[in-house]
A = this chain, B = another copy of it.
Amino acid sequence: MTLPQRVTLIDVCLRDGLQDESVFVPTQAKLQLLDALARAGVLEAEVTSFVHPKWIPPLADADALAARLPNLPPMRFWALVPNLRGYERSGNAPLFGITTVLSATDAHNQANLNCTSQESLRRLKPVIAAAKADGRSVRAAISVVFGCPFEGEVPLQRVVDLCEQLTAAGADELVLCDTIGVAHPRQVAEVIGQVRARLPEMPLTLHLHDARGFGLANMLAGLQEGITRFDTSLGGFGGCPYAPGAPGNLATERANTFLTAMGIATDIDQAAIEAAAVQAKSAVAAGEPIDTKA
């Protein structure tokens, strides 16, 4: 079995993990989680999203968090940026780069971003250009690549076209997201193969959810296709609003056990990442309830 020798896990707990929780984790606790991630050897983390605070109350402290981001080399920080206004807010924060997002289907893009995928692409182009002009790297994420809660199956041609358009717009890396956890390994291999056929040089990251428990099997399919970058989330945080109670993102600590068992280097210490996961669960349990009526 041919697998990569080294894999990078990008921990997205502070962004994707916390955004669906019904509590606000204080900025200080978030910074402590970042510190725990860094001490465990995690090399990259997505730390927040510069969306309007009212949209995603758990991430309402994006500005405060960005202003207090510590220097934890070699750890690199990413933040999700939805639009130019969000990009302006990212200001001088010590970000290695930004993550942009649009959906593979218009229905999901409408539900999430209130416009079509192509309109999102049009709006993201100046964001990508601004980040590039500032010397930042750009991860361009595509949601619901493997299945959409509204449209069901997603035509692969749409995905490949969006990958090509985002690459042309200047993205440095594409993030293929199984937003609702419906991907299966055969599909993972097929999607990666098709994207690679069109964009052989483009770095690809897999963002897997574990709603059906297929997360590690899908990771294996990705590894076999040569994928070396995976979004994972400490503690498995990041449920999908369409699958209440189901496991969320593929857990960083579980992915690390899996990779380590197969002799794949990650630089992440298993005991330390498991301790960090416990810390994340405590932080969420102690979070401030969000008044959803506000």
Q: A184-B261, A220-B221 are in contact. List 9 more A-B contacts (CB 8 A).
A: A1-B186, A185-B220, A212-B258, A212-B261, A213-B216, A216-B216, A217-B219, A217-B258, A220-B220
Tell whether, in the assembled complex, residue A184 and residue B217 are in contact, meaning their CB atoms are under 8 Å apart.
no
Question: B-facing mask of A182-197, CB < 8 A → 1, else 0?
Answer: 0011110110000000
A185 and B221 in contact, given A213-B216, A254-B213, A258-B214 (Cβ under 8 angstroms): no
Tell whether, in the assembled complex, residue B216 and residue A261 are in contact, meaning their CB atoms are under 8 Å apart.
no
Tell whether, in the assembled complex, residue A186 and residue B217 are in contact, meaning their CB atoms are under 8 Å apart.
no
Tell whether, in the assembled complex, residue A257 and residue B221 are in contact, meaning their CB atoms are under 8 Å apart.
no
Tell whether, in the assembled complex, residue A263 and residue B1 are in contact, meaning their CB atoms are under 8 Å apart.
no
Tell whether, in the assembled complex, residue B186 and residue A257 are in contact, meaning their CB atoms are under 8 Å apart.
no
- B-side contacts of A254, CB under 8 Å: 213
A201, chain B: closest CB distance, angstroms? 23
Say yes or no for A95: interface residue by CB 8 A criterion.
no
- B-side contacts of A3, CB under 8 Å: 186
How many residues on chain A are close to B (CB under 8 Å)? 22
Bound: A258/B69 CA distance, A:
41
Tell whether, in the assembled complex, residue B261 and residue A214 are in contact, meaning their CB atoms are under 8 Å apart.
yes
Say yes or no for A294: interface residue by CB 8 A criterion.
no
Say yes or no for A262: interface residue by CB 8 A criterion.
yes
Bound: A257/B190 CA distance, A:
19
Tell whether, in the assembled complex, residue A262 and residue B213 are in contact, meaning their CB atoms are under 8 Å apart.
no
A-B residue pairs in contact (CB < 8 Å), sample of 26? A1-B185, A1-B186, A1-B189, A1-B221, A3-B186, A184-B258, A184-B261, A184-B262, A185-B220, A185-B262, A186-B263, A187-B262, A212-B257, A212-B258, A212-B261, A213-B216, A213-B254, A214-B216, A214-B258, A214-B261, A217-B217, A217-B219, A217-B220, A217-B258, A220-B220, A220-B221
